[in-house]
Amino acid sequence: MFKLVLKMAWFNLWRRSRRSALVILMIAGSMTAMLAIEGLYDGMVKTMRESTIRSDSGEVSVYGEKFRLYDSLDYAMKETRALQKTAEEDPRVRAVAVRIAQTGLASTARKSSIARLVGIDLDAEERFGQLSEFVTEGNITWGRRQNGCAVGKQLAKEMHLEVGHRLVFSSQNVQGDISSVSLYVTAIVQTSNLLIDNQTIYIALPRSRSFSGLGDAGATQVALRTRLPADTEAVAATLKATFPALDVETWKQLYPVLVQMQEMMRIFNSITFAIVMLVVLIGIFGVMLVSILERTREFGILIALGTSQKQLRLQVTFEALALGILGFALGALFSYGALWYLVHYGLDLREYAAGLEAFGYNAVIFADIKLHYFTNTFFAIVAAALVSVLLPLYRLKKLHPIEVIQS
């Protein structure tokens, strides 16, 4: 009897094939749009988060006490060898980058701007976050005299700098003296980190140590990359316990805006998800209600012949579930195709590049793809299908077979 009920449900579903097909396409189209938007939102935040971690903070950063508050070399770390050794020997840490940053004035013959001079070790930065991947023009090299530099894209644009141009950076060293260094641009970098793109000038770490006067073991920042995201808090706790005089921060503490963006995107995705599932519910509900109203006489005859309410409920429920699952299957196929394209080729918004880059967004937005997009949607569509038949089943329960047949 169970197989017969299912066969009847399947047959009835396609008695109005055009109507059923439209509902299935509606579910598939809504699902595709929803998951594409969700993937783009998550991908945008993921790109910004990973770019910030790779180019600046790592998962954990260590600073001299009060350095972040005053941004002065007076609060830089004068001795970092013990810290570096501890970090490099920790099996949870996979890369360490030592940097010296100081704020000053960058000048050309026609333009001046506040900037940050950051001394880096190229090999360490490549292991840390593959800095070369952020280069948009030229190649980062320091030259024989170590007077080459890499400039953030927005800073270069503001100061009309191109590869090969010269600039002068002036700042106060650790002794309190004003000194200047002449540099020539070897590369332009873009990281989606506004601090780097708008203000940063990279130079060789030895040149920076000499210019700042910090010496061979000094630094303003020691950044760490952990092997697993779950290791971040544990590594930070270990460093805090070992070096209580230093300021140890995780990327979430350094960039709370990124955490807020993740929460905002989660809320946007939840709202979009709820709206789409409501549309699915209404679509299936409308089809099932009209179907039952059209087949009222048929149901009356079945009841008169001894068909139980349980069998009728099963038939109607299976019809609704079949609509939802077929819509999900088609939508999953379309959604995966759309997300695959957006993951590999992205959404090209270069027409709006100037506005997007001003806020730290890339002109080409790449999506993310996660299994839970599909599992959550499947269970939500099944739930929507089950809820959609509650009122139609109530109408079915109230049928009186004799009155229906005579009508």
117 neighbors 101 (Cβ within 8 angstroms): yes
The confidence score (pLDDT) of residue 366 equals: 86
Per-residue model confidence as pLDDT tens digits over 89-104: 999 999 999 999 999 9
Domain ranges of the chain: 2-51+258-406, 65-245
Per-residue model confidence as pLDDT tens digits over 307-333: 666 777 777 788 888 888 999 999 999
Instruction: Report CA torsion sign: 402, 405, 406, 407.
Output: positive
The confidence score (pLDDT) of residue 335 equals: 94
CA–CA separation, 367 and 44 (whole Å): 7
87-93 long-range CB contacts below 8 Å, 24 or more apart? 87/222, 87/224, 87/239, 90/235, 90/238, 91/227, 92/226, 92/227, 92/228, 92/231, 92/234, 92/235, 93/224, 93/225, 93/226, 93/227, 93/235
Per-residue pLDDT for 401 more than 80? no
Per-residue model confidence as pLDDT tens digits over 359-400: 556 667 888 999 999 999 999 998 888 888 887 777 767 666
Per-residue pLDDT for 76 more than 90? yes
Per-residue model confidence as pLDDT tens digits over 266-304: 888 888 888 888 888 888 888 777 777 666 666 666 666
pTM above 0.85, yes or no: no
Per-residue pLDDT for 405 more than 60? no
The confidence score (pLDDT) of residue 14 equals: 74
Per-residue model confidence as pLDDT tens digits over 333-360: 999 999 999 999 888 776 666 655 655 5
Mean pLDDT of the chain, nearest integer: 87
Taking CA atoms, 287 is separated from 290, 320, 330, 378, 388, in Å, by 5, 9, 18, 20, 9
pLDDT band at 82 (very low <50, low <70, confident <90, very high): very high
Per-residue pLDDT for 81 more than 60? yes
The confidence score (pLDDT) of residue 286 equals: 81
